[in-house]
Amino acid sequence: MNVTVFGSGYVGLVTAACLAEVGNHVLCVDVDPDKIATLKAGHCPFYEPGIESLLTRNAAANRLDFTTDAATGVAHGEIIFIAVGTPPQEDGSADLQYVLAVARTIGTHMSGYRVVCTKSTVPVGTSAKVRKALQEKLAERGADLPFDVVSNPEFLKEGAAVEDFMRPDRIIVGTDGPRPLERMRALYAPFNRNHDRVMAMDVESAELTKYAANAMLATRISFMNELALLAEKVGADIESVRRGIGSDPRIGFQFLYAGCGYGGSCFPKDVKALVKTGHEHEQTLQVLTAVEAANDRQKHLLFERITAYLGDLRGKTVAIWGLAFKPNTDDMREAPSRVLMEAIWAAGGKVRAFDPVAMETTRKLYGERPDFQLVDAPEAACEDADVLAIVTEWAVFRSPDFAAIKKLLRQPAIFDGRNLYDPAVVAAAGFHYQSIGRGAKAA
Ligand SMILES: NC(=O)c1ccc[n+]([C@@H]2O[C@H](COP(=O)([O-])OP(=O)(O)OC[C@H]3O[C@@H](n4cnc5c(N)ncnc54)[C@H](O)[C@@H]3O)[C@@H](O)[C@H]2O)c1
Ligand SMILES: O=c1ccn([C@@H]2O[C@H](COP(=O)(O)OP(=O)(O)O[C@H]3O[C@H](CO)[C@@H](O)[C@H](O)[C@H]3O)[C@@H](O)[C@H]2O)c(=O)[nH]1
């Protein structure tokens, strides 16, 4: 099948590469000429395990190509995916300008039947707006051409995006007719594995399902983060509690890790957008409002603990391990590390940081500044630093040489936002160790 994907970000590129891998001919369109040049040169503009080999293999087999030319893109794909960003606006609502711009582009250039498939995360009602924007462009041209709009939200996780796309738990397809559904079923047939993964539903339900999934996962995390704070007060260990409740199959083990808050380009933005949708329909979503507030507070926890320990941060340096919002990505969007670093700087302190892949992204975000140093190894971050904060649970941080770190730090203190170590082991190594929700065992 010929497929076009508008937007060559995490979702667009993974979608394109995986669809090409199973034999489709896929054309990626992006408005960013640098991104397209990078892709044409055989490189991925961001870090995502497994993507680069998929891109090069399928480009070499002439199943995958990249362009900035929207007209060529619209001409190519019988199915056209919209996978552009939907960032939050001031009021929390999703900014649909990029999605609707693509819809208008399709209306401007299409010359025959198209299935227009929204993969971006968009509020309920957006498919109707996409249809209207496209129809208006057709009307301007005096063209009467058939098309269908489909909602096909994406559930991949960064860091495991290729695997998630190739082996989906479900493929949500929201349509209002059999013709586009049949095309989507054919497109996704190779990803069905042992049973049909396609779940057909109406468009509105598909759009809401995406927000419901992210909101549920974010709720679990904020719930555990609040419980972790209580665990510290009452002398319980949140890790034991997590194992205890996770063993109940009605609860399950996933997404129950307490930490220094959830980040990334999705949970914070999508929880806000769903709360906003609630307001628009005079349906207050109290639980989600609390989920967001709890997360905002949790992202400040490491800073509060560090200042409680060090006092005035002027003249002090904090070593930070992990900058990306989670391991196996270079994405810094809404990363808890940003809240911590910016608070340290605002208080007059300095940061020495290491991340296995996100340092380039961090450099682009913050540039050169006298109170910030990026170093090339975890130990180097601890040199001349007062204390160590751990923000992202990269594998390389899991088994450090505590004796060496103790010699490097001015004060032997570790503030662990991801509960990487056994508190008793770290305390025995002579550290003040504060993790999340294990207060009773911290030094
Ligand atoms: N990142 C994730 O893990 C993830 C997972 C599921 C869903 N989503 C959703 O998917 C959407 C895309 O997310 P992302 O992280 O891939 O975004 P991204 O910011 O990485 O990429 C978006 C791309 O769209 C391009 N673009 C903007 N306007 C365009 C236009 N008119 N024509 C062509 N290209 C255009 C941008 O240049 C950019 O390269 C969002 O709605 C997001 O919420 C993201
Ligand atoms: O038990 C947990 C699990 C995750 N996190 C944090 O939650 C954030 C998000 O993590 P994750 O969900 O793994 O990454 P994303 O790539 O943001 O993926 C989420 O957002 C995507 C975009 O909508 C969806 O497609 C995915 O299904 C959904 O998991 C990160 O900061 C994690 O550190 C925790 O604090 N505790």
* Ligand 1 lined by 102 (C-beta under 6 Å): yes
Query: Averaged over 31-36, what is the pLDDT?
Result: 98
Give distance in angstroms: CA of 83 to centre of ligand 1: 5
Q: Is the pLDDT of residue 440 over 70?
A: no
Q: In whole angstroms, what is the distance from residue 435 CA to residue 389 CA? A: 10
Rg (CA), the chain: 24
Q: Which CATH architecture has domain 211-296?
A: Orthogonal Bundle (1.10)
* Segment 52-67, tens digit of pLDDT: 999 999 999 999 999 9
Atom of ligand 2 nearest to the CA of 257: 1
Question: Is the distance from the beta carbon of residue 31 to the nearest atom of ligand 1 less than 6 Å?
Answer: yes
DSSP bridge pairs for 387: 318
Encoded tokens for 413: 């203190």
CA 119–ligand 1 middle distance (angstroms):
9
Nearest to 86 by CA among 116, 34, 126: 126
pLDDT of residue 442: 42
Phi then psi for residue 341, to 5 deg, are -60, -45
Closest residue (by CA) to atom 33 of ligand 2?
326
The residue extents of the domains of the chain are: 2-201, 211-296, 300-441
Superfamily grouping for domain 2-201: NAD(P)-binding Rossmann-like Domain (3.40.50.720)
Burial class (CB in 10 A: 0-12, 13-18, 19+), 140: exposed
121 labelled binding-site residue: yes
| Token pair for 168 | 């989906």
Quick one: which atom of ligand 1 is closest to the CA of 157? Answer: 3
Ligand 2 site residues (CB inside 6 A) read 121, 154-158, 214, 217, 221, 255-257, 259, 262-264, 266-267, 325-326
Q: Exactly one of 18, 28, 44, 266 is catalytic; name it.
A: 266
- Rounded to two decimals, the pTM is 0.96
Q: Is there a contact between 409 and 306 (Cβ–Cβ < 8 Å)?
A: no
> What's the pLDDT at 340?
98
Starting at the earlier edge strand, list the strands of the sheet with 114-118. 64-67, 25-29, 2-6, 79-82, 114-118, 147-151, 171-174, 198-201
* Per-residue pLDDT reduced to its tens digit, 337-385: 999 999 999 999 999 999 999 999 999 999 999 999 999 999 999 999 9
258 labeled binding residue: yes
Assess whether pLDDT exceeds 80 at residue 77.
Answer: yes
Protein residue closest via CA to atom 36 of ligand 2: 257
- Answer yes or no: is 157 a known binding residue: yes
The CATH architecture one would assign to domain 300-441 is 3-Layer(aba) Sandwich (3.40)
Q: Using most ligand atoms within 8 A of CB, pick from 157, 242, 243, 295 the residue to mutate for ligand 2.
A: 157
- Please indicate if the annotation marks 196 as binding a ligand: no
Calculate how far, in angstroms, residue 120's C-alpha sits from the geometric centre of ligand 1.
7
For residue 64, say whether it is annotated as part of any ligand binding site.
no
pLDDT at 49: 96
The rounded Cα 68 to chain-centroid distance in angstroms is: 25
| Catalytic residue status for 382 | no
Centre of ligand 2 from the C-alpha of residue 267, in Å? 7
Cβ contact 16:63 at 8 Å: no
In the chain, the amino acid numbered 65 is D
Q: How far is the CA of 48 from the centre of ligand 1 (A)?
A: 15
pLDDT averaged over every residue in the chain: 97
Q: What angle do CA 328, 36, 356 make, to 5 degrees?
A: 20
Which is nearest to 420 in space by CA: 385, 377, 378, 376? 378
Q: ipTM value of the model? A: 0.98
Number of C-beta neighbours around residue 55 at 10 A: 23
Q: Which of 167, 221, 226, 340 to mutate to test the pocket of ligand 2 (most atoms within 8 A of CB)?
A: 221
In the reported structure, the alpha carbon of residue 377 is separated from the centroid of ligand 2 by a whole-number distance in angstroms of 26
pLDDT tens digits for 303-319?
999 999 999 999 999 99
CA 90 to chain centroid, in Å, comes to: 20
Residue to mutate (ligand 1; options 18, 30, 165, 267; most atoms within 8 A of CB): 30
Residue 124 near residue 207, CB atoms below 8 Å: yes
> Given a cut of 60, is residue 146 above it in pLDDT?
yes
Is residue 101 lining ligand 1, measured as CB closer than 6 Å?
yes
Q: Is 210 annotated as a binding residue?
A: yes
